[in-house]
Amino acid sequence: MCQLLGMNCNVPTDIVFSFTGFATRGGGTDTHNDGWGIAFFEGAGVRHFVDHLPAVDSPVAELIKTWPIKSKNVIAHIRRATQGHVALENCHPFVRELWGRYWVFAHNGDLKDFHPQLSGPYRPVGTTDSERAFCYLLQQLGKRFGDQMPPLEELTAAMAVLTQEINRFGVFNMMLSNGSALFAHCATNLYYIVRQFPFAKARLSDEDMTVDFSKVTTPQDRVAIIVTEPLTTNETWIRLAPGELKVFVDGQPD
């Protein structure tokens, strides 16, 4: 199993605070040693960092913790290998293009005997069940809607059907973003929080670190954080129900 972290905001925001607690689980407070990755949308572009080193030992993770990259949509992942060996091509998140946009995907869980027919343009490069699921998602979305991205409502309805279908093969906690919306499907464990005015202090559970968000935000800011295990000890995280698909836009659940 692995751990997932997502952020969706209405203004570009840095993820240094949340990532610092999260990255500690990659070989520090938890045993997710088999690589990690993070992808930041910046406009239509994506900054994509993956590493097969544990996040606590990775020079790239160190860079992310000190360099406040601002983004409206971020997905991060730390890996404990279940399927697929420890290699760069098996590190999440994965990035592919559909409808002239990048899509970023990461998965927590394990899919048994999941070998969908991938006859279209998306083929896995690595050997994980997760990348097969991502390729299948994009292939089916492309088949279903053709040349053009549909309105969000139709996309969400299609995602609900597809995530349910894939979830039958095992555990499919996942996050997918196209740079504007962030889809989160809960199989077993996913929690979220929306931080907005009036902002308060938050204390990390994995590191001795507190931030006073009222000092680093404007009253208009709204930030949703989605994660497999709550990151802070003094905030109320909302748990998604098993089987629930939630879509976040501009920092709030739709």
Q: Which of 228, 245, 211, 233 is nearest to 15 (CA)?
A: 211
Nearest CB to a copy of itself, comparing residues 43 and 151? 43
248 close to 156: Cβ distance less than 8 angstroms? no
Nearest CB to a copy of itself, comparing residues 124 and 192? 124
Sign of CA dihedral 55, 57, 58, 61: positive
74: left (phi over 0), alpha (psi -120 to 50) or beta: beta
Answer yes or no: 135 catalytic. no
> Does 86 engage in binding with a copy of itself (CB under 8 A)?
no
- Polymer length of the chain: 254
> Does 81 engage in binding with a copy of itself (CB under 8 A)?
no
> Does 91 engage in binding with a copy of itself (CB under 8 A)?
yes
Single out the catalytic residue among 2, 9, 91, 186: 2
- The residue within the footprint of a copy of itself, chosen from 96, 145, 180, 213 (CB under 8 A), is 96
- The residue within the footprint of a copy of itself, chosen from 31, 112, 115, 125 (CB under 8 A), is 125
Q: Which of 141, 38, 27 is nearest to 91 (CA)?
A: 38
For tokens 């969908």, the residue is 116
Binders of a copy of itself among residues 208 to 227 (CB under 8 A) are none
Site residues, a copy of itself (CB under 8 A): 42-52, 59-60, 63, 67, 87-91, 95-97, 99-102, 120-126, 142
